[in-house]
Structure 1
């Protein structure tokens, strides 16, 4: 396809259940694209679930159509059910296949069998390897709010409304006006986009940062938090040092230093990267001890049986918190004296879909869109898992996954 050719782009309806309500581009972003790229046309598939209504797109001059077969490029957010995939098209969405996830094996097989090209948002990276796109910031914002909401409900000390009842972030911020928090203590893990979202909420609420070494030994008459980055959480057993590259290559050689914080914290907001080789933040035995003070854990990275061993399963936006008995390890109702309350929602950005979509589309326009229109873009090629029905060289390791 030449750059001067008309390129038709379709924004698909999210069909995976439960329905995601985010979108790749807002109505105003579609307008900007059409203004700045005269060779681009955009069509939106109608949706009763999308956070921006069909009428908002129509008012912005963006046409709606159920049939997107005329489009060259189709853009969504979550995995597309295989029966909804159009043969021979180019798709962009989060496929969750690069780690050979069993749930999406059949979808990837269908993509290959029907000569589809799959570009995965998760695989779009800058030259230094950092991901271009993601919703982690808004996961952090919503997860931090939900953690505080759960603590307020458990203790009866204050009340917050659920994020999903707010129209957008601005309405949520207004909700914070005048609500005084008790002198609670929050420990935050991580330093990426999720942690940035958590810190945004700490700033909006005026919760004071305390360095880790002071947080462990001092008491405070106002709400405080500390942040533990990977280098403060994990040290190499042999020499008590930390190297980012070495940690990612040999995490089993490191020990976790989190345990002292369980005795002085009320809430854990977990935003740390984890894989199965990395030691958990604490053990079930630690959880059962009398000095385990943490009452609420917002496991925003949400790895079941991961860095937080008492993450038993996902919770939902409608019912975000469940309890875990510290002794029997059984799932319970939240708020029980012998339980820790767990917030483990996997789709947190869905609670602020308009803001999350705005941010996502902005990153797409700045760092991806121009490349998407080019015939041979290294950025796009690196993120292409399947091209015209064939696994690309970078993802050839998935051959066994798609042939099983």
Structure 2
């Protein structure tokens, strides 16, 4: 099929450190090719899937980072933020923009779109008619977030300072579970865990990780937090995994006063939702994200320690499973990308325009 205005998808390489995910995997790319799309995939030194697998299904291959020279009509598909800079953005981009909640630099990024007459279809804004997201990495974010929390807890028990060094990705979930089980066996005890937002995708992932390790888990959602707090029960769990997005209605789950109790058992907070710079941060005892290289922030070092983990691309710890899962969810939306003013894509476009009006 000849290239038309809306049938060219360009899969760019990721520049964020330790980001190994991809939004579309070869099997689903093949489905799009069969539906008449043209797909270009950039080479990548860190992507979890070898570039040859894309070539084998018929994708065109481009050099890493060459999306800036892609045809203007192409949709540039990525996962995380674009490389920093001042260059005009002339294409139609699809990725997690992180610019609609007043995050640092949001105005600069949106102005790059204005100056280049480009467009952002934010992956977080791809929703159905009922407002539910059609594709999300949430499950694997929760799974990986709970896993990192267990690793930090184990490091605390072993007396490590900091409790955990660099976090690496795993080839698959079985390798991750084997590693965690070995650490727990070495320590000779298991942590207990409370998951808030347990009924959602992210909370389900965190819960499943805990169940796979045989941990005692307390599952909370909106009903259990409707009182608005305080929530002293949280302090009686070794690990707290937050899976609730920061909103004006969200209560404060853990404050500096809450952690002063003498019988605190809580020693690790995994803030999977990770919105520390928001004024609605439900865990206002820390104010910056953490990274794969430095995964935790020490909040309390004396007595019972307390460390916070807030990595904002946790699914990269399990890049293959999370990419396959996300690609499967996103595929139905991508099939309809040839009508970018309608349906799911039209709603994301409206969100983009609304936020441009805030500049």
What range describes the TM-score normalised by the shorter chain of this pair? 0.7 to 0.9
Q: Which residue matches 1:261?
A: 234
1:361 aligns with 2:342: no
Judged with a 3 Å threshold, the aligned counterparts in structure 2 of structure 1 residues 271 and 6 are, in CA distance, closer, same or farther, namely closer
The alignment's TM-score, normalised by the length of structure 1, stands at 0.76
Judged with a 3 Å threshold, the aligned counterparts in structure 2 of structure 1 residues 314 and 289 are, in CA distance, closer, same or farther, namely same
* C-alpha contact (below 8 Å) 1:45/1:64 kept by paired residues: yes
* C-alpha contact (below 8 Å) 2:32/2:335 kept by paired residues: no
1:166 aligns with 2:184: no
Distance 1:314 1:161 in 2: 15
Distance 1:40 1:283 in 2: 50
The 5 A counterparts of 1:34-113 are 34-35=33-34, 37=35, 39-66=36-63, 67-68=66-67, 69-70=70-71, 72-81=74-83, 87=90, 89-113=91-115
Judged with a 3 Å threshold, the aligned counterparts in structure 2 of structure 1 residues 282 and 174 are, in CA distance, closer, same or farther, namely closer
1:373 aligns with 2:338: yes
Judged with a 3 Å threshold, the aligned counterparts in structure 2 of structure 1 residues 257 and 351 are, in CA distance, closer, same or farther, namely same
Distance 2:32 2:61 in 1: 16
Q: Which residue matches 1:287?
A: 259
Q: Which residue matches 1:309?
A: 284
Distance 2:285 2:38 in 1: 48
* C-alpha contact (below 8 Å) 1:7/1:40 kept by paired residues: yes
After TM superposition, give the deviation of residue 92 of structure 1 in Å: 1.0
After TM superposition, give the deviation of residue 336 of structure 1 in Å: 4.7
After TM superposition, give the deviation of residue 176 of structure 1 in Å: 5.2
Paired residue total: 343
The counterpart of 2:204, out of the listed 196, 204, 208, is: 196
The 5 A counterparts of 1:219-234 are 224-234=216-226
Q: Which residue matches 1:343?
A: 309
* C-alpha contact (below 8 Å) 2:289/2:310 kept by paired residues: yes
* Deviations 1:103-160, CA, capped at 9 Å, x for gaps: 1322211212222122111111112111112211111011111111111121139x99
The counterpart of 2:269, out of the listed 297, 302, 307, is: 297
In terms of Rg, which structure is larger? 1
* Deviations 1:52-99, CA, capped at 9 Å, x for gaps: 233333344422113452352211112224556652x32211122222
Distance 2:24 2:285 in 1: 37
* C-alpha contact (below 8 Å) 1:98/1:398 kept by paired residues: no
* C-alpha contact (below 8 Å) 1:298/1:343 kept by paired residues: yes
Distance 1:47 1:4 in 2: 27
* C-alpha contact (below 8 Å) 1:149/1:162 kept by paired residues: no
Which region of structure 1 is more displaced relative to structure 2, 47-56 or 128-137? 47-56
1:9 aligns with 2:6: no
Distance 2:119 2:338 in 1: 14
The alignment's TM-score, normalised by the length of structure 2, stands at 0.84
1:271 aligns with 2:229: no
After TM superposition, give the deviation of residue 284 of structure 1 in Å: 1.3
Which region of structure 1 is more displaced relative to structure 2, 3-12 or 271-280? 3-12
Q: Which residue matches 1:324?
A: 299
* C-alpha contact (below 8 Å) 1:74/1:91 kept by paired residues: yes
1:205 aligns with 2:213: yes
Distance 2:267 2:6 in 1: 57
Structure 1: tracts of 5 or more residues without a match? 208-223, 236-254, 326-334
**SS of corresponding position for 2:40:** strand
Structure 2: tracts of 5 or more residues without a match? none
* Deviations 1:254-292, CA, capped at 9 Å, x for gaps: x22522331x32221221233355331133122122122
Judged with a 3 Å threshold, the aligned counterparts in structure 2 of structure 1 residues 106 and 151 are, in CA distance, closer, same or farther, namely same
